[in-house]
Structures are given as C-alpha cells and as structure tokens.
Amino acid sequence: MNESYKTQGIVIGKRDFFEADKILTVFTQDLGKIQIKAKGLKRALAKMAGHLEVFNLVELELIKGKNMYIVIGAQIIDSFEDIKKDFDRTGVYYYFCEVLDKILEEGVRHKNTFAFFLSLLEELKKKETNLLLLTVYFELNVLSYLGFKPEFLVCVGCRDEISGHKFYFSEDRGGILCETCSDKDLYSNKISQNAIKLMRLIVEKDFGFIGKVVMEKEIQEEAKRINAFFLEHVLGRELKSKQFLMF
C-alpha cells in the first residue's frame, strides 16, 4: 500500500511529461521541495488543472510513487490574483520562485522558510509595498535560513571588528572585508557603510520595521546589487527571472 500525505504547497514550477501528464515542482510545508506527477493534467477537462497552476497555494493529497509523489487531490487555498494581475509584482513572484527552486535541496523540510515565504507573499499583495526592499529582504533572509548568512559585524579576512572608511564585500568568503584584507581578494566589491547598516537590519528585524526606515533609494539599489552577486555565487548560476524585475 502506497503511503499517503496531506500538506500545503506552492507550485513553483511545471513541465510537460509525456502526452498528457505534468511534473510539478512544489515547495511544501511538510515535505520541503518535491517533484509531483499530475496525471492527465494537460487534458482540457482535468478536474485539478485550475488548482495546480504555477504560483498557487494549494492543499495537496499525495501518494508516494516509485520515483516521485503523485497528486490525487488538490484544493486551491490562494491563487494570489492580486499579484498575478500586476506585471511588476508577478515579476518579483517569479523571481522568488526561481530562487527557491534553485536553492532548496530536494525533499528537505524547511517549515520556517515556508512560513517566511507565505508572509512575504502577503506583503507582495499590498500595493504600497516597496518591491525593491522586499526583494532584498527575501534574498538575505532565505540565504540566512539556509545557512548562508553573510557576515556584517567583523571582517571575514582578519576577524577584526569592522572599522574605517572603506569596506568591501567578498562573495567567496560571504561577508565584509576591511580595506587591508580587500587587497587579497581581487573580486570583492566596494560597499558603503549605509548599505552595510541596511543589510544588518534586514537580517535582524521583520519587514514591518524595515519598511518604516527612511533611506535613500540608492542605498537600497546598492544592497540589491551586492546581494544579487552573492546569491548567484551561492547558487553557482545566473537567474533567468531577474530580467523581469523592474529595478
């Protein structure tokens, strides 16, 4: 008898499988990121087709097949229509899903990351949300949740507390370098003190607090640029969806 499971999940990817089936990549609350076979989903009258669209949050009923899970029931919880109707927000959502797809290990439970992601989607629904800041917040916190939290308090070269007037960020070492140690890392990027302060806040405070902090857009853009380099270094690949970000 095949084991059965019930869990919530967000469909973060989909591809064709043979003539009528689909393989879904789903980030679930209880099973982590998994591959799910949806039999007959390409048929026009497939009962579950509307529930299993990309970006939907669904309640899933699964059985464990020989090589992957098979969906036998699906009920939509949230289709995030407010996000999907807005081009800029859809681009951010697409980017979030690609990052998760690339960074999450298959079949490893990440319940805290799942809850965090749902909370960010609630922020993404709001018209007043700063999309640039939300994206930086997502990147840094996902990295932190999964063990790649950058070091912002001490130099990752000499381990002394950060001081001075010039600072650099090392993708290889995952943190801030002092001016002296930066000479040994030819690929480090210069970073301002204000961008360091912003990135420190992001990994220490919730988004409600961060959104109230008054800061120049240039500082947010600098933090995004530095963090994007680091994220792609961790992933070991370029993210295709970044072309859909409007900042």
- Cα torsion 216, 124, 96, 240: sign: negative
CB atoms within 10 A of CB 168: 22
CA atoms lying within 13 Å on the CB side of residue 72: 12
Task: Render pLDDT for 43-68 as a digit per residue (tens, 0 to 9).
Answer: 544 667 778 899 999 999 999 888 88
Q: Which of 48, 46, 10 is nearest to 31 (CA)?
A: 10
Distance (Å, rounded) from C-alpha 173 to C-alpha 185?
9
Task: Render pLDDT for 173-207 as a digit per residue (tens, 0 to 9).
Answer: 999 999 999 988 988 999 999 999 999 999 999 99
Cross-strand partners of 35 = 25
Cross-strand partners of 151 = 175
Q: Are strands 69-78 and 57-64 parallel, antiparallel or unpaired?
A: antiparallel
Rounded to a whole number, what is the distance in angstroms from the first to the last CA of the chain?
51
Residue bearing the bigger pLDDT, 95 or 50: 95
Q: Give, as one character, the DSSP assignment of residue 31.
A: T
| Number of residues that this document lists for the chain | 247
Q: What is the pTM of this model?
A: 0.91
- Cα torsion 202, 206, 211, 212: sign: negative
Domains and CATH numbers, the chain: 4-78 (2.40.50.140), 82-244 (1.20.1440.120)
